[in-house]
């Protein structure tokens, strides 16, 4: 299995995106205040798509025998050499320092893909969730499906419920699952289009683990909004997101069994959508307590840069050149 390194770069036309000035100005004010001196290097990465990196999550259900050797020859190395508090043998992710993107595999009915292209930081919520075989798991906002695929690389849940409220995104989720998961296991996965805010009432105390990868102001994509008017509208409505995220978390707590774990994640740097939402939940819900994930963060600090000064139950991955992963916020809670 070999793919020429020349194929790893997307056509230049797709990479030469235009930065949306309205969004950048907004981020400049907000993130300079929230991140301080760290913002300059983060901004440098977020506004330079040519330096972005992509990782490969290998599919344990369909691996080409020569893929790992080929990746090694092209400068890729395992993302998590260990030891981590939780790292199942089936979870294999490869990355390299240099930018560029490995060729994507097209969806083919009846044929499983060998790997999933992703931002390596998006695996941290899955590692924090620590799913075990036989557990009942809920992925509350599951599209496009990368974290669900990663969960299934880690373990075989006794029950796996993937939910996505948006119809188009739900179809995207279903196609992702069809591309990576064999039929016998696929038949055990429930995909729904429920309002995530209502699942806690519909399925109270049913799950051992719940992942809330919440809708958020996606910093990478928002910076390259082609429609300035739409971008301005998004920024105006940005404050509404934190309330939605809080409602999703309250629903997730209801859906959790006592003793169960909840992981919350976003792909934004925004404090209002990250730490503030978790603080609000902890202050208003006596059923949940924070869980220390600092050992996981320390174990992967060679590959990821984290914002200093956060609590032990949370982390925020900051993109920097050579380690252009994130933004990715992760927080872990437990229901008592």
Q: Domain of 312: which CATH number?
A: 3.40.50.150
1 lies in a domain?
Answer: no
Checking if the pLDDT of 15 tops 50, the result is no
Give the CA-trace dihedral at 325, 113, 101, 270, to 10 degrees: -30
Phi, psi angle pair for 333, to nearest 5°: -135, 160
324 lies in a domain?
Answer: yes
More confident residue, 64 or 138: 138
Q: Domain range for residue 161?
A: 21-51+118-335
Share of the chain above pLDDT 90, in %: 87
Q: In the chain, which ranges are continuous DSSP H helix?
A: 12-15, 21-35, 38-46, 67-73, 124-129, 146-154, 167-180, 183-186, 199-202, 219-222, 228-236, 238-255, 275-284, 294-299
Express each pLDDT in 17-40 by its tens digit.
799 999 999 999 999 999 999 999
Express each pLDDT in 41-71 by its tens digit.
999 999 999 999 999 999 999 978 899 999 9
Q: Residue 1 — pLDDT band, cuts 50, 70, 90?
A: very low
Identify whether the C-beta of residue 49 lies closer than 8 Å to the C-beta of residue 17. Answer: yes
pTM to 2 decimal places:
0.94
Q: Residue 108 — pLDDT band, cuts 50, 70, 90?
A: confident
List, as one string, the DSSP characters of 245-260: HHHHHHHHHHHEEEEE
Long-range contacts of 83-87 (CB under 8 A, 24+ apart): 83/299, 84/127, 84/296, 84/299, 84/300, 85/130, 85/295, 85/296, 85/299, 86/127, 86/128, 86/130, 86/296, 87/127
pLDDT at 314: 98
Express each pLDDT in 166-212 by its tens digit.
999 999 999 999 999 999 999 899 999 999 999 999 999 999 999 99
Identify whether the C-beta of residue 112 lies closer than 8 Å to the C-beta of residue 182. Answer: yes
2 lies in a domain?
Answer: no
Question: Cα separation of 184 and 248, whole Å?
Answer: 31
261 lies in a domain?
Answer: yes
Average pLDDT, the chain: 93
192 lies in a domain?
Answer: yes
Q: How many domains are contained in the chain?
A: 1
211 lies in a domain?
Answer: yes
* Residues flagged as binding site for S-adenosyl-L-methionine: 141-147, 164, 195, 213
Phi, psi angle pair for 290, to nearest 5°: -70, 150
Q: Which listed residue (93, 216, 267, 285) is catalytic?
A: 267
Burial tier of 181 (Cβ tally within 10 Å: 0-12, 13-18, 19+): buried
pLDDT at 126: 98
* Residues flagged as binding site: 141-147, 164, 195, 213
pLDDT at 16: 58
Checking if the pLDDT of 107 tops 90, the result is no
pLDDT at 100: 80
Identify whether the C-beta of residue 295 lies closer than 8 Å to the C-beta of residue 302. Answer: no
Helix (H) or strand (E) holding 288: strand 288-290
326 lies in a domain?
Answer: yes
Checking if the pLDDT of 6 tops 70, the result is no
Checking if the pLDDT of 264 tops 50, the result is yes
Question: Cα separation of 324 and 208, whole Å?
Answer: 33
Q: Residue 14 — pLDDT band, cuts 50, 70, 90?
A: very low
Identify whether the C-beta of residue 257 lies closer than 8 Å to the C-beta of residue 332. Answer: no
Region 222-249: what's the mean pLDDT? 94
Is 156 known to be catalytic? no
247 lies in a domain?
Answer: yes
Q: Residue 10 — pLDDT band, cuts 50, 70, 90?
A: very low
């Amino acid at each position: 299995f070999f793919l020429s390194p020349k194929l790893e770069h997307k056509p230049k036309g797709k990479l030469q995106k235009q930065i949306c000035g309205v969004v950048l100005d907004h981020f400049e004010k907000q993130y300079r205040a929230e991140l301080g001196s760290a913002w300059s290097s983060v901004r440098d990465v977020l506004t330079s798509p040519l330096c972005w990196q992509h990782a490969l999550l290998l599919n344990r259900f369909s691996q080409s025998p020569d893929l790992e050797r080929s990746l090694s020859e092209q400068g890729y190395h395992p993302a998590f050499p260990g030891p981590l508090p939780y790292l199942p043998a089936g979870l294999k992710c490869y990355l390299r320092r240099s930018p560029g993107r490995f060729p994507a595999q097209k969806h083919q009915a009846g044929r499983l893909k060998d790997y999933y292209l992703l931002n390596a930081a998006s695996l941290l919520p899955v590692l924090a969730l620590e799913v075990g075989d036989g557990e009942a798991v809920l992925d509350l906002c599951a599209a496009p499906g990368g974290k669900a695929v990663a969960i299934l690389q880690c373990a075989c849940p006794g029950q796996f419920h993937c939910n996505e409220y948006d119809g188009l995104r739900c179809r995207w989720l279903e196609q992702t699952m069809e591309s990576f998961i064999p039929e016998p296991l696929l038949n055990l996965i429930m995909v729904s289009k429920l309002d995530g805010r209502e699942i806690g009432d519909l399925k109270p105390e049913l799950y051992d683990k719940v992942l809330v990868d919440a809708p958020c102001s996606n910093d990478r994509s928002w910076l390259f909004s082609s429609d300035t008017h739409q971008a301005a509208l998004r920024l105006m409505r940005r404050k509404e997101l934190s309330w939605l995220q809080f409602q999703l978390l309250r629903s997730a707590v209801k859906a959790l069994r006592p003793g169960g774990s909840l992981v919350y994640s976003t792909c934004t740097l925004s404090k209002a959508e990250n730490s503030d939402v978790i603080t609000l939940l902890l202050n208003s819900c006596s059923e949940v307590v924070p869980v220390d994930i600092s050992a996981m963060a320390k174990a992967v600090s060679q590959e990821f840069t984290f914002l200093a000064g956060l609590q032990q139950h949370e982390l925020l991955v900051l993109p920097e050149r050579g380690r252009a992963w994130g933004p990715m916020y992760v927080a872990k809670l437990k229901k008592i």
